[in-house]
Amino acid sequence: MIIHTKKIIKNIGIKFLEEGKEIINVVKGEEKIKFILFKGKMTTNKIYKKTNLKPRTVRQCLLKLEKKGKVKRIKGKEINKKVRYCDSWILKKEESMVKKVPENKVFAYYKTEHQNKGYRQHYMFFPKKIILNEDFISAIGFFEAEGSKTKHKSIEAVNSEPKLIKSFLKLLEIFGIAKENLTYRITFNKKIPRLIKKSKIIIEKEAEKVWRKEVQIPKNKKIKFSHLGKAEGKPKGEIIKYGSLTLNYNSVLFRSFLFELIKECKKNIQTQKEAIAYLRGYLAGEAYVGKKDYQIQIASNDENELDFLKKLLEKIEVKNSFSKKTSTCPKRLLISHLKSHIILEKKDIFLFHSSKEKALIIKILNYKNVKEEKRKELEKKLKQINQKPVFY
């Protein structure tokens, strides 16, 4: 499945430039100054005239660039103790410049009104075509299940399973969003220190070490911590001693683009492979797979999403039904047939979540009428899963 980026950008109602077009008139103040200085040394006064920016804006941009090490200041010759010639600026040689939209890219941009009758320019490069392979569709399914829908200026995804976090990071890499551009937070349940008998500081240090290794978080990126819930009482589920990792990327433009891309992707899911890919991401994030009962539950406040999931499950011949919405529980999809559970296991629906994969196998083995050949196959698979190191 291929989606053309221009179609998505048009749908969200912003401007764009195609490959080969100059971007100097669109970029922010700092970038404009870098373009001007690329030609050679220039005084502050000349930069004012060339960029058409306000003097104060130019001074602020030059100071920021100097602090980042992008430009070098050459002080003007002193006439006396109070007066000297205007400073000159040069661009560092190692600085690479992108003056035109690169090949196979689209440059999307828009501006917003700012204080003091000014404006801010927002822009981003996108690939010209987006190939929606199985991994990409799974990452979209995961974001639909676990991504934040309430934040208006950023995208945020959270989970305790490294495989799901890695799949979402791969999606971000397609759009040139590096790990250095993200913010990270590890969230713990307040019960954990009491249950595993360790202090908060030790728990945080251990979790940071593990997550940095699992997800390859850059050393220069600081990880924040938060502890939620009540400290007393029994845990409802598994004890997740390393917490859940939250990824956050602050960009209104990318947020609008991603939400529109998800809509387009869901419209174009047609084959069984595409349906399985989406379900792998969504169910790994949202499905409840208990070991003792005979049901898999998928809850959501969005009834349209549940209808969509129902169609995808029917596409892969998995029987399901709706439960009634109550005052304490939202409407849910229920999968409670042995044949359906076997199909889910065979299709590797919980490929991205080892503990849910294990729970599904135990659920199937709890049925008395499982064929002996299938029972042996599942027992062997369960043994292999138990031998693997557990992240939690």
3-state secondary structure 26-73: CCCHHHHHHHHHCCCCEEHHHHHHHHCCCHHHHHHHHHHHHHHCCEEE
pLDDT at residue 392, as a whole number:
58
- 44 vs 10, 61, 97, 307, 335, CA distance in Å? 39, 11, 20, 61, 68
User: Could you tell me if 177 and 210 lie in one domain?
Assistant: yes
Residue 237 binned pLDDT confidence (cut-offs 50, 70, 90): low
Comparison of pLDDT for 48 and 255, the residue scoring more: 255
Residue 39 binned pLDDT confidence (cut-offs 50, 70, 90): confident
Global pTM value: 0.86
pLDDT at residue 155, as a whole number:
93
User: Could you tell me if 343 and 225 lie in one domain?
Assistant: no
User: Is 49 part of a structural domain of the chain?
Assistant: yes
Using the predicted structure, report yes or no on whether residue 118 has a pLDDT greater than 70: no
Domain boundary among 104, 127, 150: 127
User: Could you tell me if 158 and 114 lie in one domain?
Assistant: no
- 291 vs 145, 152, 294, 300, 313, CA distance in Å? 22, 38, 8, 21, 21
- CATH at residue 117: 1.10.10.10
pLDDT at residue 235, as a whole number:
67
How many Å apart are CA 66 and CA 63, to the nearest integer? 5
User: Could you tell me if 219 and 290 lie in one domain?
Assistant: no
User: Could you tell me if 363 and 247 lie in one domain?
Assistant: no
User: Could you tell me if 86 and 141 lie in one domain?
Assistant: no
Q: What is the DSSP string of 327-386?
A: SSS--EEEE--HHHHHHHHHTTTTTT-HHHHHHHHHHHHT-TT--HHHHHHHHHHHHHHH
User: Could you tell me if 200 and 306 lie in one domain?
Assistant: no
User: Is 265 part of a structural domain of the chain?
Assistant: no
The per-residue pLDDT of the chain, averaged, comes to 87
- The three-class DSSP label of residue 181 is helix
DSSP 162: H
With residue 296 as reference, give the H or E element that holds it: strand 296-299
Average pLDDT over residues 22-50: 81
Residue 115 binned pLDDT confidence (cut-offs 50, 70, 90): low
Domain boundary among 88, 104, 127: 127
How many Å apart are CA 229 and CA 191, to the nearest integer? 8
With residue 121 as reference, give the H or E element that holds it: strand 119-127
How many Å apart are CA 289 and CA 234, to the nearest integer? 19
Percent of the chain with pLDDT over 90: 51
- The three-class DSSP label of residue 100 is strand
pLDDT tens figures, 327-367: 677 888 999 889 999 999 999 999 999 889 999 999 999 98
User: Could you tell me if 121 and 144 lie in one domain?
Assistant: no
Please list, residue by residue across 276-312, b when 16 or more beta carbons sit within 10 angstroms of its beta carbon and e when fewer do. bbbbbbbbbbbbebeeeeeebbbebeeeebbebbbeb
How many Å apart are CA 325 and CA 334, to the nearest integer? 12
- In the Cβ-directed half-sphere of 235, how many Cα atoms lie within 13 Å? 15
How many Å apart are CA 144 and CA 160, to the nearest integer? 16
Comparison of pLDDT for 190 and 84, the residue scoring more: 190
pLDDT tens figures, 69-79: 888 888 777 77
User: Could you tell me if 348 and 320 lie in one domain?
Assistant: yes
User: Is 369 part of a structural domain of the chain?
Assistant: yes
Query: Cα angle at 271 between 269 and 277, to 5 degrees?
Result: 70
Residue 33 binned pLDDT confidence (cut-offs 50, 70, 90): confident
For the chain, the domain total comes to 3
How many Å apart are CA 322 and CA 313, to the nearest integer? 13
User: 272, 315 in Cβ contact below 8 A?
Assistant: yes
How many Å apart are CA 44 and CA 49, to the nearest integer? 9
Domain boundary among 109, 127, 145: 127
User: Is 313 part of a structural domain of the chain?
Assistant: yes
How many Å apart are CA 20 and CA 94, to the nearest integer? 23
Average pLDDT over residues 187-215: 90
Average pLDDT over residues 109-129: 80
Using the predicted structure, report yes or no on whether residue 86 has a pLDDT greater than 80: no
How, if at all, do strands 88-91 and 71-74 pair?
antiparallel
User: Could you tell me if 119 and 40 lie in one domain?
Assistant: yes
Percent of the chain with pLDDT over 70: 94
- CATH at residue 342: 3.10.28
Dihedral (Cα; 290, 296, 301, 304), 10-degree rounding:
170
- The three-class DSSP label of residue 192 is helix
Determine the length of the chain.
Answer: 392
Tell me the one-letter amino acid at 183.
T
pLDDT at residue 152, as a whole number:
83
pLDDT at residue 116, as a whole number:
60
Using the predicted structure, report yes or no on whether residue 52 has a pLDDT greater than 70: yes
User: Is 115 part of a structural domain of the chain?
Assistant: yes
Tell me the one-letter amino acid at 16.
F
Q: By residue range, what is the domain housing residue 52?
A: 14-127
User: Could you tell me if 299 and 326 lie in one domain?
Assistant: yes
User: Could you tell me if 136 and 256 lie in one domain?
Assistant: yes
Tell me the one-letter amino acid at 269.
I
